Amino acid sequence: MTSVRRTLALAAILIAIATVLGAFGTHALKPVLPVARFESFETGVYYQFFHALGLLGLGLLRREPAWDTPLLRGAGRVLLFGMALFCGSIYGLTFGAPRWFGMVAPFGGASLMAAWALAAVGIWRGR
């Protein structure tokens, strides 16, 4: 499987997981979680949705060989890393991870920002 196909497949999987988590949160977690904790969980789901859609966009852009550049490939990797840290830490806290686990989220957020900066530079430079 090519790197581009892997990116597109992974983006689709992440969108599906975000859909499942959103439905699970609304139907199973909302009635039992404190409001602040549920809102935090929703934030993780929203970020996963938006960034997975962005990853899908990067993958579609990279289907054109002229746009399959190291910067855009790197942006995709950093985006995945950022989603894992940011959304993963929020999900972990929702399901009882130790409080210190929340300190991971800012690194995930910074990674997400860095990923989009890489994407912007890669698109700006073009080929």
State pLDDT tens for residues 35-90: 999 999 999 999 999 999 999 999 999 999 999 999 999 999 999 999 999 999 99
55 Cβ contact list (under 8 Å, min separation 6): 7, 10, 11, 14, 76, 79, 80
Specify burial of residue 114 (Cβ count, 10 A radius: 0-12, 13-18, 19+): middle
Torsion angles phi and psi, residue 63, rounded to 5? -65, -30
Mean pLDDT of 95-103: 91
pTM score, whole prediction: 0.92
